[in-house]
């Protein structure tokens, strides 16, 4: 499960983070080459685009924004630059400039893959039913426009997730099914994005990774086909939708519904613990996280939440730190998404003699 990424901003964790993520060696090598080439060709907007895209791939969003903005200055109406720049602004939580870049991009080329990708992400994170249906149409447009794009796997996985949610919604409310199915690949995106479709998205909202997120309760697995969701899966989908809207109370209600069906599901317990923690219900969050950890102390989601909660408990802070260290060792990619190296370093400083005693 990866719903933790949505509630991370709500959680009362005051760790001080560096603004960047450590880059993989190969990506660092490519960046070095591109930056070196840029020194002798500083007026070339395409070179700024390539450097910016590499930083975006490495989730170093401030650096990506810097280089992509420079490229956009040199080539103001280049949709190939406007798309990645819009995506970068979204990851930084800068919604208004992101929407401005999308409007400019769609005015030049309504089928530009990078702009469709960024727009689909924005719609998906909005969380409302209408935005979800529009996101489905936009992901389909993206896949039609760029079948060989490097992010096709991500788009297909996101589309599967949204279609599963839509199927669950229609099963619960058949009369609300749209006249034109949202999966129609011929649906047209709006000429420009809505004025402010995700105003509730907090700054620095961490990205989710649908490609690595399973669909709980999905009867036919996650191999690209959309099956029916059982009641447990429907409850989890409700919880995930609440998380995407940063609705901790709604997430708590939905996770409790899921746990009424499967009370010993470690991942659902972890989700409930984090929702409680985000509301500062620390004592109940601690009990719930502890139960999840006893059921499965190897699950990445459970480890993350256990560490998050226990680091607020001076008696068990070292247990929480150990869980995070194990998570980073066994699941480094997930750890990078959570900026876990920086969090662990900050936690160690707090726990060291003379530190503040609590992260």
**Torsion, CA 257, CA 258, CA 260, CA 266, rounded to 10:** -140
For the chain, give the mean pLDDT: 76
Q: What is the DSSP letter of 19?
A: S
Q: What's the distance, Cα to Cα, between the start and end of the chain in Å?
A: 24
Residue 133: band (very low, low, confident or very high) from pLDDT cuts 50, 70, 90: confident
**Residue 191 CB contacts under 8 Å (≥ 6 apart), including other chains:** 106, 107, 110
Residue 351 CB neighbours (<10 A): 18
What would the mean pLDDT of 272-293 be, rounded to a whole number? 92
pTM of the model: 0.47
Which is more confidently placed, 117 or 190? 117
The answer to whether residues 37 and 67 touch, using CB atoms and an 8 Å cutoff, is no
Query: 153 versus 226: which is more confidently predicted?
Result: 153
- SS3 for 36-103, per residue? HHHHCCCCCHHHHHHHHHHHHHCCCHHHHHHHHHHHHHHCCCCHHHHHHHHHHHHHHCCHHHHHHHHH
How confident is the model at residue 175, as a pLDDT? 53
For residue 357, the number of C-alpha atoms closer than 13 Å in the C-beta half-sphere is 2
> What are the distances in angstroms from CA 142 to CA 101, 107, 150, 152, 176?
17, 17, 12, 8, 26
Q: Are 215 and 233 in contact (CB under 8 A)?
A: yes
- How far is it, in rounded angstroms, from Cα 89 to Cα 198? 12
Among 148-157, 240-249, 279-288, 335-344, the range of highest mean pLDDT: 279-288
Q: Which residues contact 63 (CB under 8 A, 6 or more apart)?
A: 20, 52, 55
Confidence of residue 300 (pLDDT cuts 50, 70, 90): confident
Higher pLDDT, 325 or 244: 325
The closest of 122, 112, 123 to 146, measured between CA atoms, is 112
Flag whether pLDDT at 103 surpasses 60: yes
Q: In degrees rounded to 5, what are phi and psi of residue 146?
A: -140, 70
229 - beta bridge partners? 218
């Amino acid at each position: 499960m990866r719903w933790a990424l949505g509630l991370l901003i709500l959680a009362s964790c005051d760790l001080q983070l560096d603004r960047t993520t450590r880059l993989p060696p190969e990506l660092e090598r490519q960046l070095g080459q591109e930056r070196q080439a840029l020194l002798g060709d500083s007026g070339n907007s395409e070179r700024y685009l390539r450097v910016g895209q590499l930083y975006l791939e490495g989730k170093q969003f401030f650096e990506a924004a810097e280089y992509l903005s420079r490229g956009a200055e040199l080539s103001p109406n280049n949709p190939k630059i406007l798309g990645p720049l819009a995506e970068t602004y979204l990851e930084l939580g800068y919604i208004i400039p992101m929407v401005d870049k999308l409007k400019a991009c769609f005015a030049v080329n309504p089928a530009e893959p990078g702009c469709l990708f960024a727009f689909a992400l924005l719609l998906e994170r909005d969380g409302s039913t209408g935005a979800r249906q529009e996101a489905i149409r936009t992901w389909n447009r993206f896949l039609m426009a760029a079948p060989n794009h490097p992010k096709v796997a991500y788009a297909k996985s996101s589309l599967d997730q949204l279609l599963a949610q839509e199927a669950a919604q229609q099963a619960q409310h058949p009369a609300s099914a749209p006249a034109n199915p949202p999966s129609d690949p011929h649906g047209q995106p709006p000429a420009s994005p809505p004025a402010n479709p995700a105003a509730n998205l907090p700054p620095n909202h961490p990205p989710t990774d649908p490609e690595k997120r399973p669909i709980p309760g999905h009867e036919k697995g996650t191999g690209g086909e959309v099956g029916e969701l059982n009641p447990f899966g429907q409850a989890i989908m409700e919880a995930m939708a609440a998380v995407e809207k940063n609705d901790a109370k709604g997430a708590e209600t939905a996770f409790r519904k899921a746990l009424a069906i499967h009370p010993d599901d470690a991942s659902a317990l972890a989700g409930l613990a984090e929702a409680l923690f985000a509301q500062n219900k620390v004592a109940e969050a601690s009990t719930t996280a502890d139960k999840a950890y006893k059921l499965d102390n190897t699950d990445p989601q459970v480890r993350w939440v256990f560490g998050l909660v226990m680091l607020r408990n001076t008696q068990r802070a070292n247990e929480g730190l150990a869980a995070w260290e194990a998570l980073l060792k066994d699941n480094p990619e997930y750890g990078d998404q959570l900026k876990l190296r920086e969090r662990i370093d900050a936690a160690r400083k707090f726990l060291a003699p003379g530190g503040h005693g609590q992260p």
